[in-house]
Amino acid sequence: MSKAVSAPTLGRVQDKPFHVGELVEVNCDHNVEGERVHGWLQGVVVQAEEKMLAIQFREDVYLTDGWMVPDRVLWCRQDSDSIRPNARRRASRVRVRRG
5 domain-assigned: no
12 domain-assigned: no
The domain tally of the chain equals 1
d(CA 76, CA 55): 8
**Residues of the domain holding 84:** 25-88
pLDDT for the residue numbered 66: 85
pLDDT digits (tens, 9 = 90+) for 6-58: 554 444 445 668 999 999 999 999 999 989 999 999 999 999 999 999 999 99
d(CA 54, CA 78): 10
- Are residues 15 and 46 in contact, defined by beta-carbon separation less than 8 angstroms? no
99 domain-assigned: no
20 domain-assigned: no
Contacts of 6 (CB under 8 A, 6+ apart): none
8 domain-assigned: no
3-state secondary structure at position 52? strand
pTM of this prediction exceeds 0.85:
no
